Amino acid sequence: MTIIECVPNVSEGRRTEVVQALVEAMSRSPGVGLLDASSDPSHNRSVFTLVGAARALKAALLTLYALAIERIDLRTHRGAHPRIGAVDVVPFVPLQDATFEDCITLARELGHSVAERFGLPVYLYEAAALRPDRSSLDEIRRGQFEGLHTKLAQPGWEPDFGPNVPHPSAGATVIGARRLLIAYNVNLDTDQFDVARQIAAAVRASGGGLRHVKAMGVDLVHRRLVQVSMNLTDYEETTLDTVFDAVKREAERRGVAIVDSEIVGMVPARALIEAGVRYLQLEGFRLEQVLERRLSSTLTLPRRPSS
Amino acid sequence: MTIIECVPNVSEGRRTEVVQALVEAMSRSPGVGLLDASSDPSHNRSVFTLVGAARALKAALLTLYALAIERIDLRTHRGAHPRIGAVDVVPFVPLQDATFEDCITLARELGHSVAERFGLPVYLYEAAALRPDRSSLDEIRRGQFEGLHTKLAQPGWEPDFGPNVPHPSAGATVIGARRLLIAYNVNLDTDQFDVARQIAAAVRASGGGLRHVKAMGVDLVHRRLVQVSMNLTDYEETTLDTVFDAVKREAERRGVAIVDSEIVGMVPARALIEAGVRYLQLEGFRLEQVLERRLSSTLTLPRRPSS
């Protein structure tokens, strides 16, 4: 079965009755699983994790747009997180048997429908972008809801679908496709924030470090520790154990030990299995030896009807 | 879905046409997946790995018994591995959502049917044993096919199902339930066989070592290495990384390095994930964070029909 993940970010993290209405609508959506729902009041934003096949996801998302547009008004919305619309960003992520192409197609189909049905300007971003200068979400969101009227009127910022003017209360929306992201933090045995900042700068792609790592230093004042807080944007190319090793090496150079590490949210089995293979110094190991992978592929093959 | 694994051991590893006939029969069996088939000519024995729900497995096994009894004659069978019957041993192993009880029930049901349909004496072993002195397969198999007539006539060795005399060509059969077993070997950077032998003796349960580990030393002459060859009989209680650490510690005490390790055959994802968690020094990690586990539990929940 082809499964896609979708992580819609909605501009409401304070009014629990609104968040609850969105959660309920998605939980009832046929063929879709709601894996997680997290709201942040200071960001005034909620993030949902949905999984399902393309068609079921598209239906669930159209319901989400309808509800969010009805209940959220960006003209009175305040929060710490940048946002451009009521349904701010909708990334699709390929999971089990799904390809990047499946997600790009779905993003563009949804964008087309959302523009038509709700009169929303739609920008396509990252892998689903139709122009190279729209791969960056930050660029698209610059100016936020408040600057949207001006932005949409600028040459080069015409939306990919929908009108050249913002929806009065719901703004615009950004839809795209990206790889699965792992949120991974390593905690260091020091209260020197500068150590975390330096290590983050050394391991991340923008500092010439590992290609698929974004990183920043964080001061965990309550634990009297500092943290290297990371996003792994392609865990198949830059593996978890490579990232751990890199942070550990940089910490050792500074005479600092690692206390522990943490994965925030979901992680694909493969990312941890590869770290396990590393720990055990396994040679010649093939992922096909993992029982669950064989079970799912063997038992879903078409068979003769049961006699 | 409740899935059980079954690993029938059949006393034929030389005549490929017979093995092929067994493989084809099982591959065609509805609702059952054949994950692996391995034949060893010197043992003159084949081991199959089947998965499926209880009812489908039982039907596949009855087909296997019928074919094996028809094509295999123990009176002319020679091989290095001890055996008592044409279908020698049939262990059931609980996998996804299945319990140990499910496997015990299935073992007893199959034993009953096999005795009735084929006139075979059936011993139940390990977790499915009806008497405590039948938990050990080695004890049941002692005397082999050639000693079966005498054994079955002895007080205390009446079969659990079927007649008190062996089947003339197919002998008897042993059916049971056990936990999933991981075959795990660690290779040492020395050609001193004695080192492997000593380490095996130190880490295994029978030597006062780790509770769920069977181990022996093996001389890998062609690689000029020695190996600690192990079976992990309960990887949830004695984890892979614990076993690796124990072998490594014992090797270090003897000034010997580890070259690499290997998993032979299948391994549950969880065993490697736990080693990965160890490598990364993850704190507070929950198996529910593994995406695939959430996918399978979320998307198989009953839902309203797709609209």
- B205 and B148, same structural domain? no
At B97, is the pLDDT very low, low, confident or very high (cuts 50, 70, 90)? Answer: confident
Q: Which one of B159, B177, B195 terminates a domain? A: B177
Q: What is the CA radius of gyration of chain B?
A: 21
The verdict on residue A299 lying in a domain is no
Mean pLDDT in residue range B97-104: 92
The verdict on residue B306 lying in a domain is no
Contact B279 A33 (CB under 8 A): no
What are the DSSP calls for A31-55, one per residue? TEEEEEEEEETTTTEEEEEEEE-HH
Read off the pLDDT of residues B47-73 as tens digits, 9 standing for 90 and up.
999 999 999 999 999 999 999 999 999
Contact A294 B262 (CB under 8 A): no
Instruction: Judge contact between A178 and A94, C-beta under 8 A.
Output: no
Q: Comparing B224 with A297, which gets the higher pLDDT? A: B224
Check residue A292 and give its pLDDT. 85
CA B130 to chain centre: 20
- What are the two backbone dihedrals, phi and then psi, of residue A175, each rounded to the nearest 5 degrees? -125, 140
Read off the pLDDT of residues B246-285 as tens digits, 9 standing for 90 and up.
999 999 999 999 999 999 888 999 999 999 999 999 999 9
Contact B306 A30 (CB under 8 A): yes
Token couple for B167: 């089947």
Containing H/E element for B57? helix B54-71
Return all residues near B65 (Cβ < 8 A) that are at least 6 apart.
Answer: B87, B114, B117, B118, B120, B173
Residues B64-95 as b/e (b if ≥16 CB within 10 A, e otherwise) read bbebbbebbebeebebeeebbbbbbbbbbbbb
- B127 and B58, same structural domain? yes
- CATH number for the domain including B238? 3.30.70.670
The verdict on residue A229 lying in a domain is yes
Partner residue opposite A279 with nearest CB, options B30, B263, B279: B279
Partner residue opposite B279 with nearest CB, options A1, A275, A299: A275
- A188 and A55, same structural domain? no
Instruction: Judge contact between B40 and A288, C-beta under 8 A.
Output: no
- A156 and A79, same structural domain? yes
Q: Which residues of A are catalytic?
A: 81
Supply the mean pLDDT for chain A. 93
Q: Which one of B177, B193, B226 terminates a domain? A: B177
Check residue B1 and give its pLDDT. 72
Token couple for A71: 């209940």
- Residues B186 and A198: their CA atoms lie apart, in Å, by 39
- CATH number for the domain including B36? 3.30.990.10
- A188 and A286, same structural domain? yes
Partner residue opposite A279 with nearest CB, options B34, B56, B275: B275
Q: Which one of B151, B177, B203 terminates a domain? A: B177
Check residue A43 and give its pLDDT. 86
CB contacts, 8 Å: B188 with chain A: none
What is the ipTM for the molecules in this complex?
A: 0.79
- A128 and A111, same structural domain? yes
- Give the pTM: 0.79
Residue A68, min C-alpha distance to chain B (Å): 22
Return all residues near B155 (Cβ < 8 A) that are at least 6 apart.
Answer: none
- Residues B135 and B133: their CA atoms lie apart, in Å, by 6
Supply the mean pLDDT for chain B. 93
Q: How many separate domains does chain B show?
A: 2
Mean pLDDT in residue range A174-195: 95
- Which residue range(s) make up the domain with A227? 182-293
Contact B299 A244 (CB under 8 A): no
The verdict on residue A304 lying in a domain is no
Check residue A135 and give its pLDDT. 83
- B220 and B260, same structural domain? yes
